[in-house]
Amino acid sequence: MNKIYLLLLIATISLNLFSQQENVIVLDSTYSYYWDSDTNDWLLYHRYYYANDANGNQTEKIEYDRTETNDWVPSKREVYAYDANGNQTERIQYNWDSDINDWVRDYRCVYAYDASGNQTEIINYNLDSETNDWVGEYRWVFNYNASGYQTDGFTYNWDSDSNDWVESFREVFAYDTQWNLIEILQYDWSPFFNDLALRYRYVYVYDTNGYRTEKIWYEMDYQINDWVGGNRYVYAYDANGNQTEIITYVWDTDANDWVRNYRWDYTYDGDGNKTEGIGYIWDSEFDGWVTHGRLVYAYDADGNQIKDIRYEWDTVTSDWVGEWYYYYAFYANGLQSDIVRYHWNNETKVWVGGRRDFYTYDVNGNLTGWHIFLWDRETNRWTYDRKNLSYWSELKTTISNNIVDFDYNVYPNPFTDYTIIKLSNATHTKKIELIDIHGRIARTIDNVISNSVTIQRDDLPSGIYFIRIHSDDTYVRKVIIR
C-alpha cells in the first residue's frame, strides 16, 4: 500500500503568516545555533520542543542534541504537573539512555501550596538506580501568618541511616505593625550542640514613611554567648522617597564599635530616575572619605534606561577612568532590542566592544530570537557567536507542533538556499513532492535512490511549504518548524 509522509516546512520566515492570533499562543520550539567561522554559516546544534495543557501551562520540555552525522539525539526531558489554580506541583527530569533507547528518570521536585496560593513545601528527590525508586535529597517547609507573611522556614536533608528527614537550617521572621520585616533569625546545624543553633541575625529599621533606614547583620559568638556585629547599612532618602545615600560599616572587634567602610551618594532627575552614583571608601589613616567609583545612568523619552556606565577613580591622574559600559535599546513598543557591553581600553582611551545581545519578537510580544555577537579586536567589528530562535503557535496539548521522528529529518529549517531531507533507511521512498500553502505542487522528485535528498530553493518565494513523502509502508505527519 502506498503511504504518505507529510511534514511542514518553512523556506524562510514570513511573520505576516502568524499575525492573526485569536487563540492562546504558547512557546512551541526553540533552536540553538552557533556560528562556524570555517563554513561562515550558522550550525544548528540544539533544539527544544514544548507541550502545554489546556490552560496553557507548559507540561513538557524535550531537548535534543545534534550529532556530527546530523542526527538528532534526545538528551533531556522535563515533565510538569499543575493544580487547579495553575500552581506547579511537580517537575520530573529524565535523561536519554542510548543503550536502551528510552528515557530514564533522574530527578524530581514536588511543590505544595496553602489555600491562599503560598508555597508551603518543596521536596527534591534523586532516583536510586538500585531500587529504581525516588530517594529524598532536600526538603523546604514554609509557614505563613493569616496576612500571608512568612513566619518561618525549615530546610531538611534526607538521612539514609534513619530513613527520615533531618532538619539542617531554620529561619524565623518578625514584622512590625505595618508588616515591615524587622528581624530574621537563622539557625544552622551544630555538630558541637548536636542540634540547631543560632548563627546569624538580621535587624531592619524603618522611618515613619516606611523606608528602610538601617540593616544590621550579626553573628553569634558562643564564646561570649552574644551577638557580634558583622555589617551595617544606613540609608537616607530625599523628600520624594529616592534613596540618596548608603553607608556601610564593619564591626571593629578591637574598638568594639562600627567603623565606616563604603559610601554611595545618588542623584535623580525630575522623573525620579537615578542619574548618578558616586562611591567612596573610608580612609582610616586620613580619617575621611576617598573617592572610589562612579555610576552614570541615562534614559530615553519613555523612561527606559539606555546607559549604565561605571568609572573608577585614578589616584595618579586624579580623574575618572572608564571600567565598563552597558548600552540598552528598545523597540517602539517598549520591548528591549539590545544589550551591549563595552569595556575601557586604557591604552587607546576608548570604549571597546565586548558582547552584544540582540532580541526579536513577534507581533504578540513573544521572544522569537536571541542573537549574541562578540567584538573582534582584529577586525574591529561585531561577529556572530550564538543565537536561539523560538517559534510560537496556537495552543496544542501534544508535544510541540514539531513531532519528532528519528527516521525522518529536515535541516536546516528554516532555510534560505537549500534544505536536506534525511529519509528512513527502513523504507523505500518512491516520490517526494513539495507543496505550497495553497495545495499546489511546487516541485516533484521522482526515483529517489538515496536516503539524503537536497532541495534547492532556486526561485521558491518565502512562505510555508509541505513536503509529502510517498513510501511503501509508512505514513507519518510532523511539523518541523513554525
The C-alpha cell at 258 is 562600627
Q: What are the grid coordinates assigned to 160, written together?
A: 539514609
Which residues, other chains included, contact 83 with Cβ-Cβ below 8 Å and sequence gap of 6+? 89, 113
Q: Which helix (H) or strand (E) holds 24?
A: none
Q: Is-contact 291 265, C-beta < 8 A?
A: no
pLDDT at 456: 83
Closest CA to 469 of 459, 477, 461: 477
407 pLDDT tier (thresholds 50, 70, 90): low
Residue 472's pLDDT is: 58
Q: What is the pLDDT of residues 168-219, one digit of tens each?
A: 999 999 999 999 999 999 999 998 888 999 999 999 999 999 999 999 999 9
CA–CA gap between residue 465 and residue 456 (Å, rounded): 13
Residue 457 has pLDDT above 90, yes or no: no
Ordered by where they begin, the domains of the chain are 1-22+407-482 (2.60.40)
Cell numbers linked to 71:
542526527
Query: Can you give the pLDDT at residue 19?
Result: 32
Asked if pLDDT for residue 147 goes beyond 50, the answer is yes
Query: What pLDDT digit, counting tens, does each position of 236-290 carry?
Result: 999 999 999 999 999 999 999 999 999 999 999 999 999 999 999 999 999 999 9
- Whether pLDDT at 430 is above 80: no
Cell of 84: 487547579
pLDDT band, residue 476 (cuts 50/70/90):
very low
Query: CA-CA-CA-CA torsion for 359, 361, 367, 368, nearest 10 degrees?
Result: -90
Q: What are phi and psi of 15, to 5 degrees?
A: -65, -25
- pLDDT score, position 417: 75
Helix (H) or strand (E) holding 148: none
With cell 540553538, the residue in question is 32
User: The whole model's pTM is what?
Assistant: 0.76
What whole-number percentage of the chain has pLDDT above 70? 87
For 409-423, write each residue's pLDDT tens digit: 776 666 677 777 877
CB distance 147 to 179 below 8 Å: yes
Query: Model confidence at 131, in pLDDT bands (50, 70, 90)?
Result: very high
Structure confidence at residue 408 (pLDDT): 61
Task: Report the chain's mean pLDDT, rounded to a whole number.
Answer: 87
Amino acid identity of 389?
L
- pLDDT bin (cut points 50, 70, 90) of residue 302 is very high
Distance CA 263, CA 250 (A): 12
pLDDT digits (tens, 9 = 90+) for 328-382: 999 999 999 999 999 999 999 999 999 999 999 998 899 999 999 999 999 999 9
Residues of the chain above pLDDT 90, percent: 70
Q: What are phi and psi of 280, to 5 degrees?
A: -135, 155
Handedness of CA 158, 162, 163, 167 (dihedral sign): negative
Which residues pair with residue 321 across a beta bridge?
Answer: 312
Note the pLDDT of residue 18.
Answer: 32
Do the Cβ atoms of 199 and 185 come closer than 8 Å?
no
C-alpha cell at 417: 538556499
Mind listing the pLDDT tens digit for each residue in 42-83?
999 999 999 998 888 999 999 999 988 888 899 999 999 999
